[in-house]
Amino acid sequence: MAEHKMLIDGALADGAQALDVINPATGSPFTTVARANEDDMLRAIAAAKKAQPAWAATPLADRQAALVKLADAIDANAVDLARTLVMEQGKPLEQAQAETAYAAIFLRHFAQQSLEPETVQEDEGYHIQAHYRPLGVVAGITPWNFPLLIGCYKLAPAVLLGNSFIWKAAPTTPVTALMIANLAKDIFPAGVVNVLVDKNDLGAVLTAHPDVAKISFTGSTPTGRKVMEAAASSLKRLTLELGGNDAGIVLPDADIAKTAQRAVGSAFNNAGQVCIALKRLYVHRSIYEEMCEAIAREAAEYALGDGLEQGTRVGPVQNAQQFEKAKTYLAAAHADGRIIAGGQVREGGGYFIEPTVVRDIAEGSRLVDEEQFAPILPVIAYDDPADVIARANASEYGLGGSVWSEDIDKALAVAAQIESGTVWINHHTHFGPHIPFGGAKQSGLGVEFGKEGLTEFAQRSVVSVSRQ
């Protein structure tokens, strides 16, 4: 029997099968989780559908209070959650602690929100208001890079607004999701929150089911396309947070030390497996030598190891499939550029890639053109400031981007030309529950966070009163 169970209709559920969960630092299983079959998923959808009207009728203050309770429960179990997160995901303990803390912070943020009716017109002829109603059953489909946080920040706005929620965790990182399920069981009425695990085989049940009103999906662009196709049959509401290939542009007057430190921090966070990590850095030729040296020095400070070992700053990549993919990007780094930090795979159990920096590389290399999702940063020289913007934009992705300069006006002028959902100046990757977040181009559809993000979990319904 699986060590960690799912939550379906208010009860912990074993599921028809169990799934081994591998610790990426060892390459060996460390626990087992319940795995759903199609019947389990259909049961969860039916339970969510049944529970939703009563939940929507529950006073907002009670729904808000439930989110605070879940945040409190996460804080009370933070030590366990963070250690488990390291074991299933691979990230260094400090980053797992931050992810756990953030999950509670996001829940508390959403617990303070509401969507009040908005007056659209108010005169002698009409009184027109936009109201926000729940959509019904919302499904959250989450990836393996931030398995705890992403699920929580989908659950929170969904249930706050009176929807019921089905969370389908990623198969290689299901444990912390099921720990949240165990906490949620005692907080939410049966069926309001359901948490299930599959083996990459049940997402389509959710995305095609007519009783699921909305899919909030975070994952890769190819899977996002499949989700969109499947959702078309019932015209589901969709939020798609997909892949990225964020470019940073370093202007000639950038602060070398600060840029190196922060750029490397973004590129190697979570072993590079962050949708909004810096994934390619363009540096003006006039400071290229100096910048490459500073970045290589900085990268050398990033100790590779098991996330539970003290001093580790980069853990293994998360799963065997990603490890194989990362090795091909490492091969591209060797073939297409000059390695100035790292460059090797660490053999002997676990999925370890040395934090790597490669220079003298350019477009045409897979490492530059594709999303590497690994701790391998290409540093690319440019001469023409106008041309570099076009190069940064020459991607199907448009998630984030950054500009680095001591002249903020100059940086802002460049930022205005970058085709992405977010542009950071003199930093990269910063986000929060109050900051609207979404992708341009094929990095996604719709927005999470901020008021705009909240409205995506609601149906706007205009009520128009004639006064004549």
Q: Which is nearer to ligand NAD, 24 or 171 (CB)?
A: 171
| Contact predicate 377/259, CB 8 Å | no
Q: Which C-beta is closer to ligand NAD: that of 86 or that of 411?
A: 86
Question: Does the protein bind ligand NAD through residue 444 (CB under 6 A)?
Answer: yes
**Quick check: 375 and 355 in contact, CB under 8 A?**
yes
Task: Return the ∠ at Cα 258 (arms to 252 and 263), rounded to 5°.
Answer: 85
Nearest distance from C-beta of residue 402 to ligand NAD, angstroms: 16
Six-digit token string for 155: 């659950």
Q: Which stretch binds ligand NAD (CB under 6 A): 56-64, 80-88, 196-204, 353-361?
A: 196-204
Residue closer to ligand NAD by CB (options 151, 162) is 151
| CA-derived radius of gyration, the chain | 23
From 52-60, 68-76, 86-94, 212-220, span contacting ligand NAD (CB under 6 A): 212-220
| Structure token pair of residue 452 | 């705009």
Residue 152: CB minimum distance to ligand NAD, A:
13
Query: Taking CB under 6 A as the rule, does residue 246 contact ligand NAD?
Result: no
Is residue 47 at the binding interface for ligand NAD, with CB under 6 A as the rule? no
203 part of the interface to ligand NAD, by CB under 6 A:
yes
Burial class of residue 256 in the structure, from the number of CB atoms within 10 Å of its CB (0-12 exposed, 13-18 middle, 19+ buried): middle
Closest CB 231 distance from ligand NAD, rounded Å: 9
Q: Which residues are catalytic?
A: 241
Smallest gap from Cβ 397 to ligand NAD, in A, equals 9
* Region from 49-57, 236-244, 248-256, 289-297 binding ligand NAD, contact rule CB under 6 A: 236-244
Provide the sign of the torsion angle of the four alpha carbons 239, 243, 245, 251, taken in this order: positive
Single out the residue of 92, 87, 66 nearest to residue 4, CA to CA: 87
CA distances 95 to 312, 315, 427, Å, are 10, 10, 18
Residue 254 phi, psi (nearest 5):
-65, 155
- The region that residue 138 occupies, defined by phi over 0 for left and psi between -120 and 50 for alpha, beta otherwise, is beta
Rounded to a whole number of angstroms, the minimum distance from the CB of residue 36 to ligand NAD is 11
Q: Which is nearer to ligand NAD, 288 or 373 (CB)?
A: 373
Single-letter code of the amino acid located at 434: H
By CB under 6 A, residue 170 contacts ligand NAD? yes
Contact 64, 454 (CB under 8 A): no
Query: What is the residue type of 284?
Result: H
Residue 227 in the binding site for ligand NAD (CB under 6 A): yes
Question: Of 246, 357, 247, 351, which is closest to residue 296 (Cα–Cα)?
Answer: 357
23 binds ligand NAD (CB under 6 A): no
Distance in Å, CB of 373 to ligand NAD, minimum: 6
Applying CB under 6 A, what is the total number of residues that bind ligand NAD? 28
CA distance 366 to 369: 5
Residue 422, interface with ligand NAD (CB under 6 A)? no
Choosing from 28, 119, 121, 200, the residue that interacts with ligand NAD (CB under 6 A) is 200
Q: Where does this chain bind ligand NAD (CB under 6 A)?
A: 141-145, 168, 170-171, 200, 203-204, 207, 218-220, 223, 226-227, 241-244, 275, 371, 373, 399, 439, 444
